[in-house]
A and B are shown apart, each in its own frame.
Chain A
Amino acid sequence: MSKKIVIIGNGISGVTCARYVRKYSDYEITIISYETKYFFSRTALMYVFMGHMKFEHTQPYEPWFWEKNRINLIQGKVTTIKSNEKNVMLEDGKSIPFDKLVLATGSKPNKFGWKGQDLKGVQGLYSYQDLQLLEENTKGGIERAVIVGGGLIGIELAEMLLSRGYKVTFLVRENLFWGNVLPKEESELIMRHILVHHVDLQLETELKEIVGDEDGKVKSIITSKGDEIRCQLVGLTAGVSPNIEFLKGSEIPLNRGVLINEYLETQVEDVFAIGDCAEFVQHPSSDRRNIEQVWYTGKIMGKTLAHNICKKPQVYNPGNWFNSAKFFDIEYQTYGWIFPKPKENEKHFYWEHSNGEIAVRFCYDKNDFTFIGINTFGIRMRHQAFDKWLNEKRDVKYVLENLASANFDPEFYKLHEPKIIEKFNIENNTQLKLKKKSWKILFNSK
């Protein structure tokens, strides 16, 4: 009889793990999820609310896929894990035995103990249930919503609500939007764009209190500046934290997340954790945080774990940092590391289009010019190129000269690269020339 692997959580990490376990082995695979029966793309929930898609469209696999790949799906809530008896207990009293257990339970929105945070009309945005709640909370239309927390989910929630014609006030604690990630110019570029979309953006403003009416429904909020803003919805989007409430009291060691080593193992044998809910005791890549709530790292963890369970264990290695996002109409991509302020050995080069909506920033070593990272706004860049150049430790001049080959904008888009190089040449007194686009650049070895 084949061994049993039970995965709690059907998000990107758990499902990727299941898919690769199936590819690598004959394990009996069971995925338990409380949220939905079928895997869906969490990042796409916003498009369902905006009417770009139906919920079914967010599901990457058709229902027959799970049966064909012999992956059992259980929709239920796990209450306890008996790691000694190798059993998972469900809310309905069922017990599911396992040989290997994977925790991939994701995150939940942060609530910082604000007064009134449990009133009707106050919510975060993370799960399918949150989406349903948002529909309920905006049923019949609302006039104004207040969003608290200036990160990616906050701006997405703002876009969602605006698409239905609701007014949005956006409270950001710092003096810059997403200032812990973006340098000042980029943050300002995004803030200008936020204003173009008629968002009432309030910087250096925190939530002090949420005021309810006699029915327990939100009526207004009071800001740290003492203003009262009438609203019918409050979106709490001040980050997320691992969803591990149900593990408290089990033998599995926890900190903010489920503690794991570089092989994604918890300290309890045959129990593993991946994705948003996992926290490395020490991350195997020194440049990464111990909790990584990123789509693609969840994917890499899922595949790595499947490999580690079914084959020879390998250390988790997500490779060069990259990420992307979209702020209303402006796309953002980043490859390698760029921090809001250059580190001691680093120098930044920033170019912005005169329309104020397109920008690029390069980070490089100021001594030997080694390319360290890039931010792009309104220009698409080729992941393959930058991953290669980062691995090869190319210098920034090489990167600039070959920028046309890395451009990933659709055909017939205006190429801004000549202007970018022109500015670099002026600032650095160099004579760089843009080379013609060539696909061979992506395959040359150094």
Chain B
Amino acid sequence: MENFIQFQINSMKLLNQISVFIFLIGFLLFTSVIFLGKYEVTEKNVSEFLLENDIKNDTIQNGFISVISKTGLKDKIYFNQFKFIGDLQFSITQHNQLISEKLIEKDGIVSEEIDQLYIAIQKEGKINYSKEILSQIFTEKKQKLLEEQTSWMFSSEKQYPDLAAFQKDFETKINEINGNIGVAYRLKNDAYALLNMTQSFNEGTVTKNKGLWLFLTFGLITIGAFIYHLTNIKLLGPKGIKNNGIFQNALTNRGWLAYLVFGYLVGFYIVLYFFPYYLNNLVTLVSPISESLSGNPASHWFLYGLMYCFAMTLMAIRMFVKYRNNNYQILRTSVVLFFQIAFAFLIPEILVRFNMPYYDFKNAWPLDYDFFFDWNINNLMSSGKVGIFMLVWGIVLTIIIVPIMVYFFGKRWYCSWVCGCGGLAETLGDPYRQHSDKSLKAWKIERWLIHGVLVFAIIMTGATLYTFFSGATSLFGIETYTLQKSYGFLIGAVFSGVIGTGFYPVMGNRVWCRFGCPLAAYMGLVQRFKSKFRITTNGGQCISCGNCSTYCEQGIDVRAYAQKGEDIVRSSCVGCGICSAVCPRGVLKLENSNAPKKIDDNPLIFENNMFKINPSSE
């Protein structure tokens, strides 16, 4: 009998190890897919690309083809995508420069004409610039152009003391005029355009065998992770949280493995946000899935959304196994997973399929920081009743639903039950929750930083709305566009993405939620001052062991309250419930209650009637 049990455990262990191997193979293949492209730019696929993108212009096509013949890009086969994208960017720049130069010669204001003009306008030491003078020098087309742009410089409008002053204004204008010539014939050089092009010019194995590669990447990763978690039901022992070895493992104790994951995640986010065209193979790989949902080919954001859902699902299974003794954890994980897959991923894609705006109904401003950007408002307002509903819903969500829900349930209803950022943190990030800094210093930094971001978000949105309604492009001398740009880059991309997720293995899984999320800051204020939610401490049962503080992902020193018998009423608490789950003495309970909150020393611990005899003695 004992031998049989041993045999069972041994085979389970073997299966467990095999599953890790399968997972790693899948992961390795997934990563190598990025580099498996085969790129070739031919006359045929250039014209196909232009046709697909509705660019029907011979000047562009012929111009670009002649450029790539010269630069050597044409008909050359690339296996190195970095080299290819470099050469492609060079050719596009060349094309744009050449086409401008050519067109300026034809349609622009050339230097001979300018010199002629300078001579013609000087009369008796004065500057005399007028429509007549223009007509003496320029063709009709150019006359019109110059009149449009420089009529304010006519002598009837403005007097110049000398030629130099005139030249200064005039040449600025000429550069502008010439700069605008040819814009329509240029090829776009931004990240989206490059991604689009690299996908079109890619004929690698991945593009031809998408099904096979989907299986070899997403498929193997799923199979490996699934078997791994299921075998752990047996291998981790009877149900009950086993945090064994967490601080002895290189992956979970900031060892070399953790830094490897850190590098991978940070690298991935940087590429995704700023150089998405390097992911062209992966985007192509998942395109059939995108097409089946929205009818459109995938963008790198679709790839990201899909990966996000996979990561959350696979790590949610881990949560179900690890916390299977705890109904709160099981329910919470299921709900947050549902909101990610349905609300953040599927519904917006399906909306697009029915020609409705892409919209995540649970994403509330100010986390959804571009909700009030003019393009979004315009888009929603021009999308009929559905769009108007979305606009109203978004405003109601932030102003009414969010604070009311926080009043009744604490901010956990959003942060650890609904939110996508929270969802990833609670699943993919769960193995790293112990890395949050619990020091008083970290708490001070947290309060400055998170409320700072909230203020930034409010100012940025205020300026946006001011611009939207008044039409003025700046407020107090600051360009609205600059504000939006810097918020998007600093907060939207770097803070919430690169740092927020990339830093999981070294700073814990809630770096963004704790230090940066403006919505969390907003809800935190409600939670701290006006909410039924608290974590109740169970009288005098605390033994100060520190499990609660160690596993608090928000860096709250839970023990500091528990050992004094105080309730935990903290703006940053996202109500994940892990402190309560890991407590060995049943000391902590997340509660929504009308009972008064205990935030002084709990009499139960020390006093036990003792000091009540003479309360004034203290």
Interface residue ranges, A against B (CB under 8 Å): 12, 41, 43-44, 47-48, 50-54, 57-60, 62, 64, 163-164, 193, 196-197, 295-296, 299-300, 303-304, 307, 311-312, 314-320, 322, 324-326, 328-329, 331, 333, 380-384, 387, 391, 408-414, 439-440, 442-443
Contact = CB atoms under 8 A, between A and B. Distances in A.
Contact of A60 (B245, B249, B546, B580): B546
Interface in B521-546: 536, 538-541, 543-546
Contacts of A414: 327
A328 B540 contact: no
Contacts of B355: none
Contacts of A62: 439-440
Contacts of B594: 439
Given A300-B606, A333-B541, A382-B539, A52 B586 contact: no
**Interface on chain B toward A: helix, strand, loop, or mixed SS?**
loop
Interface string B573-589: 00001001110111001
Nearest to B244: A163
B296 interface: no
A300 B603 CA distance: 11
B604 interface: yes
B328 A58 contact: no
A312 B586 CA distance: 35
Given A50-B245, A318-B608, A380-B589, A412 B544 contact: no
B57 interface: no
B12 to A, nearest CB: 14
Nearest to A301: B606
Contacts of B209: none
B462 interface: no
A296 B549 CA distance: 19
A279 to B, nearest CB: 20
Nearest to B577: A410
B609 A60 contact: no
A314 B610 contact: yes
B53 to A, nearest CB: 52
Given A60-B560, A383-B541, A411-B577, 6 more contacts: A62-B439, A295-B544, A304-B606, A384-B604, A410-B590, A413-B328
B247 A53 contact: yes
Contact of B608 (A47, A307, A319): A319
Nearest to B584: A326
A354 to B, nearest CB: 16
Interface string B303-341: 000000000000000000000011110010000000000
B249 to A, nearest CB: 7
Interface in B582-618: 582, 584-586, 589-591, 593-595, 604-606, 608-611, 613-614, 617-618
Interface string B231-244: 00000011110111
Contact of B610 (A296, A317, A387): A317
B535 to A, nearest CB: 11
A319 B610 contact: yes
Given A303-B606, A387-B539, A442 B595 contact: yes
A108 to B, nearest CB: 20
Given A319-B608, A410-B327, A58 B581 contact: no
Contact of B246 (A52, A322, A409): A52
A331 B547 CA distance: 15
B550 A53 contact: yes
Contact of A52 (B243, B331, B595): B243
Contacts of A318: 608
B150 to A, nearest CB: 69
User: Which of B248, B540, B604, B617 gathers the greatest number of chain A CB atoms within 10 Å?
Assistant: B540
Contact of B613 (A314, A316, A324): A314
B245 A328 contact: no
A143 to B, nearest CB: 14
Contacts of A314: 610-611, 613, 617
Contacts of B239: 329
B563 interface: yes
Contact of B550 (A57, A320, A331, A412): A57
A380 B614 contact: no
Nearest to B585: A324
Contacts of B591: 411
B559 interface: yes
Contact of B541 (A52, A53, A64, A324): A324
B610 A383 contact: no
Contacts of A307: 611, 617
